[in-house]
Structure formats: structure tokens, C-alpha cells
Amino acid sequence: MRDFLPICREDMEKRGWDQVDFTFVIGDAYVDHPSFGPAIISRILEAEGYRVGIISQPDWKDPESINVFGEPRLGFLVCAGNMDSMVNHYSVSKKRRSKDYFTAGGVMGKRPDHATVVYCNLIRRTYKSKPVIIGGIEASLRRMAHYDYWDDCLKRSILLDSQADILSYGMGEKSIVEIADSLNSGIPVSEITYIRGTVIKTKDLGGFYDYITIPSYEELCADKLNYARSFYIQYCNTDAFSGKCLVEPYPDGVYVVQNPMSEPITTEEMDRVYALPYMRTYHPVYEKDGGVDAIKEVKFSLISSRGCFGGCNFCALTFHQGRIIQARSHESLLKEANIIINDPEFKGYIHDVGGPTANFRKPACKKQLTKGVCKNRQCLFPEPCPNLQADHSDYLELLRKLRSLPGVKKVFIRSGIRFDYIMADPDETFLREMCEHHISGQLKVAPEHISDAVLKNLGKPQNKVYQAFCKKYAAINKKLGKPQYLVPYLMSSHPGSTLKEAVELAEYLRDNHLSPEQVQDFYPTPSTISTCMYYTGVDPRTMKPVFVEHNPHGKAMQRALIQYKNPKNYDLVHEALVQAHRTDLIGYDKKCLIHPKNASDMQSKQNVKSGKQNKPLTENEKKYGISFEKYDSMQKAESERSKKNNAKRRKR
């Protein structure tokens, strides 16, 4: 029976069920597509013979909202959704977002803040002892004591605050089946303490061995440096092959125990996951509300891999998916591509073929699948490891097969590429064919910054690597006769970035005639090295101090410098340049970023010199220090160019 899983008792009864084995409570609208974690977990359980009912976005103020199917036979599963609920709800400035792309009609407020904790406590009001298993990105990255940016405090493991029994971290395909089988065999949930990829709570460590005891929660709260030390121990034990069991003590003799990460799934196992009978869209119950926007970008996309050895400090993938690349076979991807092609809404364009990093299709080196990743060094940072195998041949072959399928007009790469990995590959074939076939006008890349001091704290390669890539990209496009350009993603206020580095970035943008429309302020999300730096003020790997801009006004100045051409940012840019002792960038020279703030004296001097009478300054001149009408016309011309470029991008 190929259909959506039950969302109500009527659906359950149609299947002839009198009870579900698991009630799955999720914070997103129900979308049965392999880009959504709850869809994968529920379909895997179904394939193993378990009955799963879905309760999507229950009313957390009403205890009856989780009784749709009655009491489940084995337990409850809880997932906040494809995003951390706090990231879903709030911008980096902690302002409430206006739209939720994972909710029908984009309506905001259908899930609570800290959804995992709230849903679990809702369940516990009715079911005091029924097993509750939590998972998903929110639970995974909050599995041990963690810094919460929104409440600006150190929080306990989410396992304790949620009152759940087991936390399944990472992708969860293996651990969830083991948990289900253990419960089904009659093992009490309190005794299921041995499964890889899980976190449990206990008062007895007698059944554990070869574990590392990290600083207690009380010690973490007493000294931020203890948190930095604890975080680094966790960071060094995220590998499935070399990672140890970790024990975090809490008051009253409670221990939170993190078992080692689940081993990477094989290509065959991954193919099986993506071959399950997904409906590949949102449940029809949402049609009346306008559907779920989150499906749009992924409906005609292919997930070819997971994991990332890029090791960016601001990314939590190391803690969630791990650094070892796991990839699907070409046959699996081609089969899914043909399903996409036969969709009535398909227009001939496969939107993406990738994963966390599109051009990673195999482990960084041969030893990773047997010995794991290195604890104390990265594969690409600060320079490519001598053991790195930079090879795009498999990915290139896959792309060639996909673009030759009947009905496919174009295959895009949109999930991001690592330009430093491309530069490490001596063969330019992939870059050439990507420019020729897989982008349309622009390629988005993420240098994040241009200051080597900041890049070091970001875990990104030196600026010279990006500059070399820019030259190579331009040269190849010139040969192809394609007027294509790069769109760099930039980040402001990352730990290590002072006003000095922010000004350097603004000068780089000036010299390269770039006007970024979007800028990402650093967002301290749980379980990243960068967030640890933000909270503690030190790099957890070296324990050396790192400058952190905590002041919202200071952050605003750094952000404004990246968009210094915007008149709305004038006052912030002026203030930043004065504070940075870079008033040489205030003036009328072509190297200046802005004009003087008070133009009266300069206007008078210019008029006296030219023999003209003084003319009263306009309000615009008084505010922005613009003393030439030509500058106004230049600003208008710049605005028109920007509008035309935006229109071209939307058309593409």
C-alpha cells in the first residue's frame, strides 16, 4: 500500500490497525520526501514492519493533541523538525521571523520554541512511563550541555530537560531500528543503554567501560574555560571509529552518557534508504492552505552524499553527520532522477545534485573508512592534507549521466561547492564542465571573508586560495565565451573579526566592484567551534583568547561596512571608520568608501577656490556629506544597475 502514513485515527483504521507501534510527533508539516528527516525515519521503521502514525505540529497547549492514535504499543518518537526550532523562529538579531517555510502556508507559530522539550513534556503529562525517543537536528546538537544563544546561558543536555528516555543523534537510520527492535523484544527502555549513536541517562556506570568523563555540568557553569575544554573533548570524539564513550555528570548522581557515533552507512544501505516508497511531496491536507514551501527547492533535487570533511568551524555537520563521506550509487540516483522526470510538474531542470558539499563524493583519504578521521588535523585546513585524494571523476561521471537522460534540459549544482577542493584537484575537467553545463550565469561560493586572521578562526583556507580560484574560474569562462560571475557568501562578526578586518573586507569589495545584497551575521548555533569561541572567548583547540564582538551595535557596524554603498548604512559606516582610525576612507577620492559627513566647510572651500558663491546644502547633502550632484546621479545609476541584475537573476 503506497500512501502517506496515517495522520489520524481514520487513516489508521483504513489500514486495519487497532494501534500504532510508534506515534511520531514532529514540529514541521508532514512532508514525505527523503530530504526530510522524519520521512526517512518513519519509512525505515515501516520497512522493518513497524506501524507508525504521524502527529504533525500538535497544539502544545492541549494534552489531547498527542492522543490522536491513543497509546502507542512501543513508544513515542519526537523531532522538532528539519531545523532547530529556535533558528526556525528567530533571526540572528533575535527578531521573530515572519515566515515558516516548513509549515503549510508559511504560517509562523505552529510549533513552540524549544519544540523538542515542549512536545516531550506534553507527552509526559499523560504518559508518565511510556518510552520517549528524541532525535533530529535540534536534539542531536543539544545532546550534551550546550550554550544557548537565545537565552544566553549554558543549558543541560536536552535529554534531561525533555524527560525523554533515549536521544538518537546523527542521521539515526541504524540506531532507530536497534531501539525499535530492543523495545519490541521486551527490553525495558531503562536497559537500552548500549546502542551506538544514542545518548542515555543513568545513575549507574557499571555497564560502561573505556569511557571519558568530561567536566560536570556544575563545573561548566562555574568556569567557561571548562566548557571550552569539554567541548574540545567532544569534538575529538565525534568519529565512529576512534570516538570514545563520553560521560557528563550532573547533580544528584545523574550521568548523561553519549555512546560512540553510529558507523557510516554503506552505499548499499544508503541506496535502500532512498528507494523507500516516499510520496515525495507534502500531505494533501495542506493543499487548502497553499502547500508547504520547503518542498519547492528539493522536489526536483537529488541528494547524492552526506557528511563533510570541510570542517568549517561555524558548521555543526561534524557533530551531526560526521566527517566521513557516504554516497549513493549512480544507479540509485539515476533511478530517482527518472521518478523526477516523470513527475507532471517537472520542467526539465534538476535543481541540484549534492549534499552538505556537492563536490564531495568519497572519503578524503583511504584510511577514513577503516581508521576514521584524524582527531587533531583537518583535511583541507589550513592547507590540503598530503593524504587528501582530490578527485572529481566520479561526480563528473554522475553529472554526465544525469544530463544525458531524456527529458532533462539542465542539471544544476546549487548545494555549494568547496573551491579549495577544486583547486587541490590537478585536473580542470570538472571546473570546465561545471561552468559549461551546470550553472547559469552565476556560481555561489563561500569564501566567508578575505582576512587571513578571520579565515583562520572560520576554518577556511587563506584568501590567496580563493583569489586563485577566481582567476581560474574567470579564465575558463572566457574560453567558453560565457559571461558568468561569482557570488561570494560573506559573514560578518565571526569571532576574531574586529573593525580592522571588517574595513579590510569593505576595501576588498570596493576594489573588486562587489555590492553584496545579502550578508550573514555570525549565528551562534549549538555544537560548533565558532559558538564555543563566542561563548568562552577562547579557541577550544588551543585555549588562546579570541576577540568576540558581543555588542549589537558593534555587529551592526561590521555588517554595514560590507554594504557601505547603501545610504541607510552611512552613519554606521562613518562611525566604524572613525573608531577604526580609517578616516582616510572618508572623502572624495576613488579609494574612499563614503563622503564626509559634514560637507559645509569642504563645499565652501571648493566654491571659494572656483570663484562660485556658496549654495545652501540640501537635506541629503547635510545628512550624507554629498557635495556634488554627480554623486547623486552615480547612486541612481548604481541602483538601476542593481535592479537590472536582480531581474536577470530572477529570470534565470
Tell me the C-alpha distance between 30 and 11, whole Å: 14
pLDDT on residue 311: 87
Query: In terms of pTM, does the model score above 0.85?
Result: yes
Q: How far apart are the first and last CA of the chain?
A: 40
Task: Give the separation between CA 113 and CA 264, rounded to whole angstroms.
Answer: 32
DSSP state of 151: T
Which whole number is the average pLDDT over 142-151?
A: 97
Beta bridge partners, 300, equal none
Return the C-alpha cell found at 279. 510520496
- Residue where the block lists cell 561560493: 445
Check residue 545 and report its DSSP letter.
Answer: B
Task: Provide mean pLDDT across the span 332-351.
Answer: 97
Look up residue 289 and give its DSSP letter: G
| pLDDT reading at 651 higher than 60 | no
User: Are 32 and 279 spatial neighbours (Cβ–Cβ below 8 Å)?
Assistant: yes
Q: Which of 112, 108, 127, 53 is nearest to 80 (CA)?
A: 112
Q: What confidence score (pLDDT) does residue 440 get?
A: 87
pLDDT digits (tens, 9 = 90+) for 570-580: 999 999 999 99
**What cell numbers appear for 470 in the block?**
577566481
**Cα separation values, 123 from 42, 59, 87, 129, 492, Å:** 19, 12, 24, 10, 41
377 touches 309 (CB < 8 A): no
User: Mean of the per-residue pLDDT values for the chain?
Assistant: 92
The answer to whether 626 and 620 are in contact (CB under 8 A) is: yes
Cβ atoms < 10 Å from Cβ of 105: 16
Per-residue model confidence as pLDDT tens digits over 420-475: 999 999 999 999 999 999 998 899 999 999 999 999 999 999 999 999 999 999 99
- The neighbouring-strand residues paired with 301 are 352
DSSP 256: E
CB atoms within 10 A of CB 602: 15
Determine the pLDDT at residue 415.
84
| Cβ–Cβ < 8 Å for 554, 547 | no
Residue given cell 576554518 in the structure block: 459
Which H/E stretch holds residue 202? strand 198-202
Q: Which three cell numbers stand for residue 224?
A: 567557561
Catalogue all structural domains in the chain, each as residue range(s) with its CATH number. 9-200+253-258 (3.40.50.280), 441-594 (3.30.750.200), 600-651 (no CATH)
